[in-house]
Structure 1
């Protein structure tokens, strides 16, 4: 039980942060692999809980999938050392390295572990898995990517992320498929510029942090919990703003990084890909609007006596961030036109 104390959790959290820094600042592929391994071994104690079987199952699944990805990554590095350099071998090695990194970050077609593991985690661990754990693989991907393979995976990420969210009742699985969809946008940003990727990643992490904190404070894990109780309308309004911002609806802050990517895609004459990305974002908005509509319109007499009011000063700060997302496009329009 001492292994799961709060002080040890903080130690593993700091190790997680430093392992990412080791991985992205290394000047050799072996150093990058070591950083990824330390990252894996520091994240597992954070998600493991001896009192919760779902957390223990999720940690075991995470260990197995990440170990397979690490073995593939190491195998590709060794091949890179010993194979003769020509067009075919360079393509083969780049595809192997890219595939192992896609598996690390939960990208299609290696995404099936991602929603299942998300289902067994707490909201704080979900936030780490959706944001921080994507930094190392994506930075390493920017060093050595196969452009045709990356464009193929990028399109499939957006498609699978949009279609996979249908008929999902779990908010964690819904957020997982939303993360896969946004991963397609991030890969397209990485293809254009690392600065654009950093901008998109910052805005995405900002909105996801608000969503995860709201669900954590309200202890909500499934869609029916949004309307089975008479949650305060003020909280529902905050959730609505952030859901629409996450979907990329134009008046909100979440549209700003997507708008930048669409502009770059159009400038490079990739009209079909930009149209496809916009269409998939509209499908994602269907899920969010379905949740919002149900929670706002559902009226239960059975729970009329029960109201969720959270008296917390941090919530005032969250509300301030929500209204920043509401006014975000006004500021972005002022600076970019």
Structure 2
């Protein structure tokens, strides 16, 4: 019997629930896939003798259960009234209701308050699932219920709260959570104009987030003051480690900047200049989070041997992380440019 073999089962049903939702042609099937996804993620987050993970699992379950119940109620109400009236006002109200529920499920502003709290109680591997895969189904379903003014309002709030929420945070998990909220605003802006833009953005965001979280998980870093644990490394190694952070923040000329560049061009073509300026301004604030971590690693000098340094002395871990970082940056840069010019 494999160790923790139950996790493989729940990972399988986790992926299956998302695929059921995105490939369904009825709202009841979509709701069923979201429920399978929810009930599969809860056992993965729970750990024995860990109150923080149990608390995070409970908060995640309560929030998702509320959103699922509202979604089921909206579906029933929709089918009850749909055959009696077909007015555009009614359809707009239903689109706004469905969109709000989906935003709640993926932690997008103004329904984001549960997301940083849940992230704080998870380990890094569960956090990357919550930041990436758990957002796939709601984002795809959000393209079915487009409402321009609701999207505009949510984009402004997501970029604002994603930037301002992380200013006074010292927890790396909360910083990544608020950064994810900010990135959701950019993805929604891509949905407003072109269905392919947000897909490219989402793929690059997932791989760069995975690279960053593998770094934090390797060094067992959860707070900003633990940045001292990697100060004994060489400058070249630290550069390779922190490049994905800067790329995720959208610093030119890294890959993360090109995805934002594409969305900027499309927003300019839609004459949404004020929205674009606000998004760029608050994205610079999120970039400050990553620069603060990078500056601490490069400019501070700390002579004491770190607690986790012996753990990372393996060259195998070193080169695995280096290869992943180079692939996530330069390989994806070529793919991104290829998509852009096609």
TM-score class, shorter-chain normalisation, is: over 0.9
When structure 1 is superposed on structure 2, of 288-297 and 107-116 the one drifting more is: 288-297
Q: Counterparts of 2:230 and 2:16 in 1: how far apart (Å)?
A: 42
- Gap change, CA 1:254 and 1:67, over 3 Å in 2: same
Change (3 A) 1:326 1:112: same
Q: Give me the TM-score of the superposition, normalised by structure 1.
A: 0.93
Does the residue aligned with 1:143 lie in a helix, a strand or coil? coil
- Rounded Cα–Cα distance in structure 1 between residues aligned with 2:65 and 2:206: 26
CA contact (8 A) 2:211 2:244 kept: yes
TM-score in terms of structure 2 length: 0.91
Is 1:204 the equivalent of 2:205?
A: yes
* Structure 2 equivalent of residue 240 of structure 1: 242
The equivalent residue for 1:227 is: 228
> How far does residue 29 in structure 1 lie from its aligned partner after superposition?
0.2
> For each residue in 1:181-239, what CA deviation from the matched residue of structure 2 results, as whole angstroms up to 9, or x when unmatched?
00000111112222111100000001000011111111111010002563413443233
Among 18, 25, 28, the residue aligned to 1:30: 28
Which residue in 2 is equivalent to 1:47?
45
- Write out aligned runs for 1:1-337 (5 A): 6-83=4-81, 84-227=85-228, 230-233=231-234, 234-303=236-305, 307=309, 309-324=312-327, 327=330, 331=334
Superposition deviation, residue 146 in structure 1: 1.6
Gaps of 5+ in 1: none
> In the comparison of the two structures, how many residue pairs are matched?
335
Instruction: Give, in whole Å, the separation in 2 of the partners of 1:139 and 1:306.
Output: 40
What's the CA shift for 1:250?
1.2
Query: What is the alpha-carbon distance in structure 2 between the residues aligned to residue 260 and residue 230 of structure 1?
Result: 36
Alpha-carbon distance in 2 for matches of 1:170, 1:231: 22
Q: RMSD in angstroms over aligned alpha carbons?
A: 2.3
Which contiguous aligned blocks of 4+ residues in structure 1 show a shift greater than 3 angstroms? Answer: 228-231, 301-310, 323-337
Task: Give deviations 1:43-100, integer Å, cap 9, x for gaps.
Answer: 0000011121111111111100000000111111112112233233222211111111
Is the contact between residue 187 and residue 202 of structure 2 (CA under 8 Å) also seen in structure 1? yes
